[in-house]
């Protein structure tokens, strides 16, 4: 269940990154790159800080494929959304709530104290 929550969170943050970048009139490569960095960057930074080994997406490439796929799909669909800002706020809040739970849980599983888990969450 937690694994699938992580995949959904990755997609949510990729969508958020694309919506934010799409307003600037960038090319697809740049928008997808920003979507992927937005989706994977926070978890990568968390893994570096808590020294949990290779980044989570390096061990399971499905995370990377979900980020790229969600970014490409959003790039083409966002042109048809009237209220992109509302969508951005909703998807961002949804992804943030998922990643807060996942990061806190991962930090606790690795044996860190509760205050550290709260900071990483």
Question: Distance (Å, rounded) from C-alpha 82 to C-alpha 7?
Answer: 26
pLDDT digits (tens, 9 = 90+) for 63-109: 999 999 999 999 998 877 777 777 778 877 887 887 788 888 888 88
Cβ(13)–Cβ(43) under 8 Å?
Answer: no
Encoded tokens for 90 = 């909703």
- Phi and psi torsions of 81, nearest 5°: -100, 125
Cβ(35)–Cβ(70) under 8 Å?
Answer: yes
Question: Distance (Å, rounded) from C-alpha 2 to C-alpha 97?
Answer: 13
Q: Whole-model pTM?
A: 0.79
Three-class DSSP category at 53: coil
* The predicted structure's pLDDT at residue 46: 83
Q: What is the mean pLDDT of the chain?
A: 85
pLDDT digits (tens, 9 = 90+) for 57-70: 888 999 999 999 99
Look at the chain and count its residues. Answer: 121
């Amino acid at each position: 269940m937690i694994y699938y929550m992580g995949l959904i969170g990755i997609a949510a943050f990729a969508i958020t990154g694309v919506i934010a970048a799409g307003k600037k009139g960038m090319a697809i490569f740049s928008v997808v790159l920003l979507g992927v960095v937005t989706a994977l960057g926070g978890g990568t930074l968390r893994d570096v800080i808590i020294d949990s080994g290779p980044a989570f997406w390096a061990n399971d490439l499905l995370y990377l494929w979900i980020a790229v796929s969600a970014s490409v799909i959003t790039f083409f669909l966002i042109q048809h959304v009237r209220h992109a800002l509302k969508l951005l706020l909703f998807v961002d809040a949804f992804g943030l709530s998922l990643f807060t739970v996942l990061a806190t849980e991962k930090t606790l599983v690795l044996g860190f104290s509760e205050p550290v888990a709260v900071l990483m969450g």
